[in-house]
Amino acid sequence: MECRIIAVGTELILGLTTDTNSPYIARILVENGISSQQHQVVPDDVDEIAHAILDGLQHSDALIITGGLGPTFDDVTREALSKAVKRELVFDPKLAEIIKERFPHDKPMPEFILRQAYLPEGAIPISPTLGTAPGIILEIEDKTIFALPGVPDEMKVMLKDKVIPFLRKRVREKAILIKVIKTCDISEASLQERIEDIIAKYENLNIKILVHLEEVHILLMAEGDIKAVEELISNVKDEIADRLGKLVYGFDEDTLEKVVGKLLRKHELKLAVAESCTGGLLSNRFTNIPGSSDYFWAGIIPYSTEVKKELIRVPSQVLLEHGAVSSFTAQAMADGARLIVGADIGLGITGIAGPTHWEKPVGLTFIALSTKTTRFCKRFIFTGSREVIKFKTSQQALNLLRLFLLERFEEGEVS
């Protein structure tokens, strides 16, 4: 099955907003054995959208349109859909009642909200999820058009709950399957060198190496009989993971903070972080995960020298002799974070994110770890903008903690 994705929005054309919907939809489609060879972005214009729909119907089995389904004057996807398929817009009273229910009850509801209850004749509505915009399913002969809201959270719910189950019924024995192996602490070139014999061995498997900030991913993709493809990808995934060992931190939707969080929860460990140059980024990454309060005990941002001394208990002599950016200070921060809140593990981070440098170079960073029995600190020199250096630092802190947890608690070296 071939599917085309159409993102509607003048703001996307002008570069004022990034189209995150199309890559997300493409990924979910591929995971469900559905190909999407083309993504298209069109402005909020009835004729432009209608033209994209007609073109898409000629070359695809299904269209997924996102955006332009809201209540305001510039939301014209439903009018464009009506024009493209030559079906009148018809008011759906049941859908109107659902929209009224979805509107916040503590505010007066403008009447124009109900223009969202007009659908092309014969269309099936998808009830609004987080907002008031409904989705639309419209079948044209042997093809299907799905129109979904542009707000990512609303779109994602409808895509997974309605669109994918609908399309899956039409995808039979053959499928495209994808698996992502995620690594860190290794370069793209070194990674390829480590696995190039495996890549050469599987000619019927599409293997790509994708570089991300402080990570390298290996994408495995194959098409064919579902069982055969599942077995092939599983075997190659295992072979690569065995070869790379701890360089692989996870698969598919895993993130470093999720993986570290699972390890902390598994071993009932509590973490406290004192981060200076990252300004709370590491704490933010941990606390973005639901349930992280099980193991994330505290995040402290002792940004000034005075707060490092007074709040996090970095000795004045350490600051005077070695400076705020030093291994001694990072270690004292890790110790202080752990002891102040009674955590099992403390992390201390200090560095120079730039662009202004002082006596020490931009990018110089120290990350320290502290437990009752272990203390160590690693020195890094990162390059890039201020934001990039902050992210690289948080990434290395997570990986340092991951490796420590694997070696200490997974391999049973120390109780």
CB atoms within 10 A of CB 342: 10
Confidence band of 255 (pLDDT split at 50, 70, 90): very high
d(CA 314, CA 300): 13
264-291 pLDDT tens trace: 999 999 999 999 999 999 999 999 999 9
d(CA 228, CA 238): 16
pLDDT, average across residues 124-130:
90
d(CA 411, CA 303): 36
11-65 pLDDT tens trace: 999 999 999 999 999 988 877 778 787 899 999 999 999 999 999 999 999 999 9
Between the CA of residue 350 and those of 324, 368, 379, 397, what are the distances in Å? 7, 9, 10, 11
327-340 pLDDT tens trace: 999 999 999 999 99
Asked if residue 108 has pLDDT above 80, the reply is no
pLDDT, average across residues 361-386:
95
Amino acid 394: pLDDT = 97
CB atoms within 10 A of CB 72: 12
pLDDT over 70 for what percent of the chain? Answer: 98
Amino acid 19: pLDDT = 93
166-176 pLDDT tens trace: 888 776 556 77
Amino acid 358: pLDDT = 72
Query: Which residue's structure tokens are 């859909």?
Result: 81
Asked if residue 386 has pLDDT above 70, the reply is yes
Asked if residue 414 has pLDDT above 50, the reply is no
pLDDT, average across residues 153-157:
93
Length of the chain equals: 415
- Segment among 47-61, 224-238, 239-253 with least mean pLDDT: 224-238
Q: Is the pTM of this model over 0.85?
A: no
Q: Buried b / exposed e across 262-287, counting CB within 10 Å, b at 16+?
A: ebbeeeebbbbbbbbbbbbbbbebbe
Sort residue 110 into left (φ over 0), alpha (ψ -120 to 50) or beta. Answer: beta
Confidence band of 415 (pLDDT split at 50, 70, 90): very low
Q: What is the DSSP string of 34-45?
A: -EEEEEEEE-S-
DSSP state of 372: S
d(CA 110, CA 94): 18
75-88 pLDDT tens trace: 999 999 999 999 99
pLDDT over 90 for what percent of the chain? Answer: 74
Phi, psi (rounded to 5 degrees) for 246: -70, -10
Sort residue 354 into left (φ over 0), alpha (ψ -120 to 50) or beta. Answer: left
Residue 102 has which token pair?
Answer: 């979805």
Amino acid 360: pLDDT = 86
d(CA 152, CA 26): 14
283-324 pLDDT tens trace: 999 999 999 999 999 999 999 989 999 999 999 999 999 999
Amino acid 50: pLDDT = 96
d(CA 296, CA 286): 7
Amino acid 129: pLDDT = 83
pLDDT, average across residues 209-229:
88
CB 61 within 8 A of CB 29: no
Amino acid 321: pLDDT = 93
Mean pLDDT, all residues of the chain: 91
